[in-house]
Structures are given as structure tokens and as C-alpha cells.
Amino acid sequence: MIKRNLRGFVNAYFRTLSIIFFLLFVIYSILSIGSEDYLRSLTSLISYSILPVVLGNTIVAIVYFYIKQKSIK
């Protein structure tokens, strides 16, 4: 039961990440027509804003499943 819930949560998490990175790729493709300096500043801004969110969500997911496992036992 826990493996199925964990698998579903992990699938949803990576599906969300894939949607985010797909949107970033679309934005990158649209903006590749623009100037290189603007594109470089935009991608660095996105990397500094997205990466902490992904890391934070990973920690929250680990804590959530730890608490859920303790409450089931």
C-alpha cells in the first residue's frame, strides 16, 4: 500500500517537474529569437528561482512520507 502511494506521489512529482521544464523549454525556444544577453539573464533568473523550489519540494516530500509511515504503524 505504501509503495503504491509512494509511486503515485513520485509519478505526480516528476510529471509536475516535466511540465515545468517543458514550459521552460518553450519559453527558451520562443526567446531564442531575441538577443543573447537577454536570454542569458532570463535563464539564470529562472535557474535561481526554480532550483530552490525543486530542492525544497523534495525535502517536503521526504518528510511527508516519513510522517505518513510513522502514522500508519
What are the sequence ranges of the domains in the chain? 2-72
3-state secondary structure of 70: helix
- The cell for 6 is 509512494
Give tens-digit pLDDT for 29-70: 777 666 666 667 767 776 677 767 777 777 777 888 788 777
Determine the residue type at 25: F
pLDDT tier for residue 27 given thresholds of 50, 70 and 90 = confident
pTM exceeds 0.75: no
**What pLDDT sits at residue 3?**
62
Q: Distances from the Cα of 61 to the Cαs of 20, 23, 34, in angstroms?
A: 18, 23, 38
